[in-house]
Structure 1
């Protein structure tokens, strides 16, 4: 049985740890900081066998060098030569076997041009999407275009609704505040805000979400919704789904 545990880092990052009950060998996703990973591994007597990297930003790769030196893991990541330490560079459509599960690689440019996501089917399906989808939000466009990010989100939205979405940041409450403005008559957003506020008051993560839930509460996945378009129309072009996304993203950047 594969389980996934968050390792908090930097105040609002999650480094995801994948493990099986029958083995001390584990995998981590986007270790921006080595220290909390090492602390957990040593405390629970685990062995770091694999690292998955979604994109080049330092808060996702900063712990790589230390972890490679200490544990010599297999490192899988995007085809970006600027990320030192990757042994297996993967691209769209590639598949890798990790922790007994077959993972598909999806290229999802937008936040960065090298961004990839890892998806594995199963019960339940799992998606490690870095900074592409957040709960009730999406990543800022540091390198890609709105059209690229919209296309990436649309692509991930075709995955099964029961897919668990393991985003890399605890941004949910801030995203939901924007969702309340961008989708003001959506009762699912109001309910999600109440649930997530309770979780954070108890110091619990709001993640993972599910893809089906995100389709109900995430305005960036709801660009064809009449209510979202109406709210966004006060801030820019909403003639198409893609232009509505671009307007939402610019609005959120200054929200």
Structure 2
């Protein structure tokens, strides 16, 4: 059984630590800083074997150099030469073995052009999706187009509904607050926001989510519904799913 532990970093990042059964060898995903990773590894006498990188942004890669120097892990990431330290560059359709499990590489451009996500089936099925899919939201479009992001989200939405979704940021409360405006008829969103507020009041992570849950509460996965489309119409175009997505993504930027 693979366990996943959140390592809080920076202001609202999660660095995910993967561990297979009781093995002392571990993997981390998107180390935006090294110090909290090193502290946990030293405290629990763990060995850093592998690092997964989803995209090039500094809050996902700034810890790489120090972790590589200290532990010499195998680093897997997208085919982007600006990310220093990657040993194994991957693209859509590739498979990588991490802690004894095979992960599928899924290209998910939109937030950035180089963004990849990592999915492993099984019990439980796990998805590490960086800044593409958040609980109740999706990433800003810094480099990609709305069409690319919508396609990426739909690709992830086709994964099994019980897949655990490990996003890279604690954005859930802000995302669900917006989702109440963008999907006002959705009772699932109202309940999810209440549960999120309880968790954050206790300083607990709101992640992971699941694909099935996101299909119920995430407005970017629900752009074909009457509720989201009508709400979008008061802020811009809603002629089709892409127009509706573009409208609510821009609306969220200034919400």
Which bracket does the TM-score occupy, shorter chain normalised?
over 0.9
Which whole-Å CA distance do the structure 2 matches of 1:23 and 1:213 have between them? Answer: 31
Which whole-Å CA distance do the structure 2 matches of 1:50 and 1:108 have between them? Answer: 21
**What whole-Å deviation, never above 9, does each CA across 1:100-138 have from its counterpart, x for those lacking one?**
111000000000000000000001210000000000000
1:154 aligns with 2:157: no
Q: How does 1:55-204 map to 2 (within 5 A)?
A: 55-204=55-204
Q: How does 1:215-234 map to 2 (within 5 A)?
A: 215-234=215-234
Which whole-Å CA distance do the structure 2 matches of 1:44 and 1:123 have between them? Answer: 25
TM-score, normalised via structure 2 length: 0.99
Q: How many equivalent pairs are there?
A: 255
Gaps of 5+ in 1: none
Which whole-Å CA distance do the structure 1 matches of 2:165 and 2:2 have between them? Answer: 15
Which whole-Å CA distance do the structure 1 matches of 2:23 and 2:163 have between them? Answer: 24
TM-score, normalised via structure 1 length: 0.99
1:66 aligned counterpart, secondary structure: helix
1:52 aligns with 2:52: yes
Q: Tell me by how many angstroms 1:20 deviates.
A: 2.0
Which residue of 2 is the match for residue 250 of structure 1? 250
Q: Tell me by how many angstroms 1:21 deviates.
A: 2.8
**What whole-Å deviation, never above 9, does each CA across 1:4-61 have from its counterpart, x for those lacking one?**
0000001200000001233100000000000000000000000000000000000000
1:29 aligns with 2:29: yes
Gaps of 5+ in 2: none
Which whole-Å CA distance do the structure 2 matches of 1:228 and 1:89 have between them? Answer: 38
Which whole-Å CA distance do the structure 1 matches of 2:67 and 2:22 have between them? Answer: 23
Over the residues paired in the alignment, what is the CA RMSD in angstroms? 0.5
